[in-house]
């Protein structure tokens, strides 16, 4: 038998008090003589013997009462056979996972409620301990202190869900830092109450528990029930226009093992429901639904995807932002011009001047500010004979940063100039076919492939199968690269699209085989020319990023006319943060702060954030939490035992669901507690003493 608090055994010295009273408090007897004392002597002898027995019994009861009472306070127990053991000495750190995945339910009771109720029972084993620490995913300042069981119990009732999933390695590092400051080098114990979600637990093979600490892992035996979440949202077209039908695609994933049938999915724009769809998903399946909508005004619009899916509800809403009718910025650079009657220089200007959607500027290629490329979506390079120096360098950088470049050749292009330039952009084997002073040969243009997405919405449905009256064109160069959009009937390319992968974006190069002058065909005057140039401009608009994730280590946001000294802020309601940032070209790179990096009382929430510069809103952004916690895959008790099999100071329980979890923990790790029996024995001897005093008379 061992004692939990052996220092109380000094209280056994109190047994000397009743012994001293009995030894030094005897009453002196007085002799009285009578004439006939025979009978009196008999009675006196019997009374003295009886009284002495009574006194000794009372003394024994008092001594045993004090002894058992002291032993009860010392809390005796029979040690367990478990070598790992559990001690109520030292510091005890209790971790409760309060991430959103703990919203899962078992028998209509949430996992977090199950964990806190079992933790409350566990605190009864540490009722007299003064070094208890409660840790949650909040990692708040209050969790850095140790307290009593009652103070911890009060904090348990205030635990709320928090979208701050922590890896087990991060949790242990946090606990170890506190233990090292409160009890360096001592023997401490740690408890983990969690569903042990695989997507957030981290790499368990890297987790090594210090041999001076004892870790007790208490899994909730979580089951992979149904859970639907939004994987991504994107627009069907690169940009949207007001008062026109637009389409939004939503990819939904089911992370559970149950079928989800006819789930209503609602689309809200500016807090007004505009569309709805129905989705059916199998276990671990996904589906993409399309939601049609239209907007009545330009600018930014706040969108939400909403559905009802229980019991996991934290990911039933997805925020996004769309911008209606963003201006397409076209920069027209020219050099050579045809005769004024051909109006070559006016073809490009005329096309983009007829629609307010386009912002058009025209400059000579030898006389323009290269800084304007930062505010341009499409550069139309027309009739420039030589491309070299700063012009070439800046155009290459422009395309590699996601811009689009349309090249219309001059009558006599310089292959020595264009060859290296186009090879840098991934277009090789350039051959110049035009010769100075020769009369170009015009060839008919072949019918375009109407199934190509480039020509979507160009031809009316009723004319899809009818032959077209195509224009003619005289090529001045040939090449073999890119996706053919238009071809000549002899098989040579007329217009191709080549994608250029840059450092942070993907640009496009559109290469035309003939100039726009009438001597080289009538393409610029044909009805096909306008929609082709519209499509090139439309696809030059960088696809809208509808939403961002807090889990992204680096967030890239396009900004106009950026300054290297500018300081951008993000504002959401009363929260205003200044992320770590830098400018690369016309891209703003933000490092989003994690929850533990924010000031006290601050918390990043999913929703809409204003990107502000000098107290002016530059853009409206939508941020959502990552979908790691939406994945319903959990470690079982057997998998956890296997992961910690080589660490004998770690014990994994089967499940917190066991009704007698605390009793099993106490018996297996603390042994058989005997203090209750000693307390009952003390009370029994006290009652026996009362009975002796009252009923044993003589």
Beta bridge partners of 510: 406, 497
- Mind listing the pLDDT tens digit for each residue in 8-43? 888 888 888 888 887 776 555 566 666 665 555 555
Question: Mean pLDDT across the stretch 226-234?
Answer: 91
- Mind listing the pLDDT tens digit for each residue in 164-190? 788 999 999 988 888 888 777 667 889
- Mind listing the pLDDT tens digit for each residue in 440-498? 789 999 999 888 888 877 776 545 556 778 999 999 999 988 999 999 999 999 999 99
pLDDT at 611: 94
Q: How far is CA 128 from CA 29, 125, 310, 518, 673, in A?
A: 51, 8, 41, 97, 15
Determine the Cα–Cα distance for residues 376 and 382; give it in Å rounded to an integer.
16
Q: What percent of the chain has pLDDT over 90?
A: 33
**Residue 245, burial from CB neighbour count under 10 angstroms (0-12, 13-18, 19+):** exposed
Closest residue by Cα to residue 426 from 507, 515, 543 = 507
Q: DSSP letter at 668?
A: I
Q: What are phi and psi of 322, to 5 degrees?
A: -125, 150
**Residue 260, burial from CB neighbour count under 10 angstroms (0-12, 13-18, 19+):** buried
pLDDT at 661: 64
- Mind listing the pLDDT tens digit for each residue in 546-575? 999 988 888 988 887 777 788 999 999 888
pTM value > 0.85: no
C-beta atoms surrounding 439 within 10 Å? 8
Please say whether the beta carbons of 446 and 488 come within 8 A: yes
Cα maximum dimension of the chain: 172
Q: Does 503 or 262 have the greater pLDDT score?
A: 262
pLDDT at 321: 95
Task: Write the CB contacts of 357 (distance below 8 Å, at least 6 apart in sequence).
Answer: 241, 325, 327, 328
Per-residue pLDDT band for 340 (boundaries 50, 70, 90) equals: very low
Determine the Cα–Cα distance for residues 94 and 159; give it in Å rounded to an integer.
13
Rg (CA), the chain: 42
Please say whether the beta carbons of 219 and 655 come within 8 A: yes
Indicate whether 342 pLDDT > 50.
Answer: no
Indicate whether 624 pLDDT > 80.
Answer: yes
Indicate whether 146 pLDDT > 50.
Answer: yes
Indicate whether 316 pLDDT > 60.
Answer: yes
Question: Mean pLDDT across the stretch 192-211?
Answer: 91
- Mind listing the pLDDT tens digit for each residue in 625-639? 888 889 888 999 999
Mean pLDDT, the chain, integer: 84
Q: Does 381 or 130 have the greater pLDDT score?
A: 381
Q: Does 252 or 143 have the greater pLDDT score?
A: 252
Please say whether the beta carbons of 84 and 214 come within 8 A: yes
Task: Write the CB contacts of 67 (distance below 8 Å, at least 6 apart in sequence).
Answer: 12, 15
Q: What percent of the chain has pLDDT over 70?
A: 87
Q: How far is CA 18 from CA 67, 68, 109, 643, 691, in A?
A: 12, 15, 56, 59, 17
Per-residue pLDDT band for 504 (boundaries 50, 70, 90) equals: low
Alpha helices in 16-89 (DSSP H): 16-24, 38-73
C-beta atoms surrounding 403 within 10 Å? 27
Question: Across the beta sheet with 358-364, what order do the strands follow?
Answer: 358-364, 328-334, 378-382, 404-408, 506-512, 493-501, 483-487
Per-residue pLDDT band for 318 (boundaries 50, 70, 90) equals: very high
Indicate whether 430 pLDDT > 50.
Answer: yes
Indicate whether 339 pLDDT > 50.
Answer: no
């Amino acid at each position: 038998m061992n004692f939990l608090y052996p220092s109380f055994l000094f209280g056994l010295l109190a047994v000397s008090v009743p012994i001293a009273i009995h030894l030094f408090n005897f009453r002196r007897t007085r002799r009285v003589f009578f004439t006939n004392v025979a009978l009196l002597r008999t009675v006196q002898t019997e009374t003295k013997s009886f009284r002495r027995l009574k006194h000794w019994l009372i003394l024994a009861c008092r001594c045993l009462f004090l002894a058992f009472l002291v032993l009860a306070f010392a809390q005796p127990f029979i040690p367990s056979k478990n070598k790992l053991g559990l001690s109520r000495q030292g510091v005890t750190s209790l971790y409760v996972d309060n991430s959103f995945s703990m919203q899962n339910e078992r028998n209509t009771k949430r996992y977090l409620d199950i964990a806190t109720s079992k933790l409350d029972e566990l605190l009864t084993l540490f009722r007299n301990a003064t070094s208890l620490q409660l840790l949650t995913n909040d990692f708040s300042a209050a969790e850095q202190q140790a307290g009593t069981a009652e103070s911890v119990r009060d904090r348990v009732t205030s635990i709320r869900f928090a979208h701050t999933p922590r890896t087990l390695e991060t949790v242990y590092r946090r606990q170890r830092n506190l233990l090292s400051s409160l009890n360096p080098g001592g023997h401490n114990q740690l408890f983990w109450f969690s569903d042990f979600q695989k997507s957030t637990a981290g790499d368990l093979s890297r987790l090594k528990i210090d041999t001076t600490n004892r870790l007790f892992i208490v899994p909730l035996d979580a089951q992979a029930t149904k859970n639907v979440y939004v994987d991504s949202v994107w627009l069907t077209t690169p940009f949207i226009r007001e008062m026109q039908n637009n389409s939004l695609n939503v990819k939904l994933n089911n992370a559970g093992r149950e079928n989800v049938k006819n789930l209503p999915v609602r689309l809200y724009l500016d807090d007004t429901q505009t569309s709805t769809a129905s989705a059916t998903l199998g276990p671990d399946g996904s589906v993409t639904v399309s939601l049609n909508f239209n907007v009545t005004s330009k600018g930014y619009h706040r969108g939400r995807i909403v559905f009802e899916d229980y019991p996991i509800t934290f990911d039933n809403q997805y925020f996004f932002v769309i911008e209606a009718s963003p201006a397409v910025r076209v920069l027209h650079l020219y050099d050579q011009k045809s005769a004024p009657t051909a109006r070559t220089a006016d073809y490009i200007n005329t096309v983009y001047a007829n629609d307010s959607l386009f912002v058009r500027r025209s400059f000579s290629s030898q006389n323009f500010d290269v800084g304007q490329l930062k505010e341009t979506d499409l550069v139309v390079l027309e009739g420039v004979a030589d491309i070299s120096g700063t012009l070439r360098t800046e155009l290459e950088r422009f395309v590699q940063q996601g811009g689009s470049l349309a090249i219309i050749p001059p009558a006599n292009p310089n292959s020595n100039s264009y060859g290296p330039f186009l090879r840098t952009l991934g277009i090789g084997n350039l051959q110049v076919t035009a010769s100075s002073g020769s009369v170009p040969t015009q060839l008919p243009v072949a019918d375009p492939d109407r199934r190509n997405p480039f020509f979507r919405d160009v031809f009316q449905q009723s004319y899809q199968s009818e032959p077209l009256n195509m224009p003619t064109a005289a090529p001045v160069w040939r090449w073999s690269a890119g996706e053919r959009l238009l071809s000549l009937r002899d098989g040579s390319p007329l217009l191709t699209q080549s994608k250029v992968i840059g450092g942070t974006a993907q640009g496009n190069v559109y290469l035309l085989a003939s100039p726009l002058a009438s001597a080289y065909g009538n393409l610029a005057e044909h009805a096909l020319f306008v929609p082709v140039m519209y499509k090139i401009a439309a696809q030059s608009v960088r696809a809208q990023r509808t939403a961002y994730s807090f889990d992204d280590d680096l967030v890239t946001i396009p900004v106009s006319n950026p300054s290297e000294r500018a300081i951008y802020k993000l504002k959401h309601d009363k929260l205003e943060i200044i992320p770590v940032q830098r400018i690369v070209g016309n891209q703003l790179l933000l490092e989003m702060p994690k929850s533990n990096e924010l000031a006290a009382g601050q918390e990043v929430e999913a929703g809409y954030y204003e990107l502000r510069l000098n107290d002016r809103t530059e853009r409206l952004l939508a941020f959502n939490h990552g979908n790691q916690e939406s994945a319903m895959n959990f470690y079982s008790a057997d998998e956890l035992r296997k992961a910690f099999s080589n660490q004998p100071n770690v014990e994994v329980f089967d499940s917190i669901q066991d009704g007698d979890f605390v009793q099993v923990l106490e018996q297996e790790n603390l042994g058989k507690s005997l203090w209750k029996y000693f307390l009952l024995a003390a009370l029994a001897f006290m009652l026996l003493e009362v009975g002796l005093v009252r009923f044993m008379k003589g």
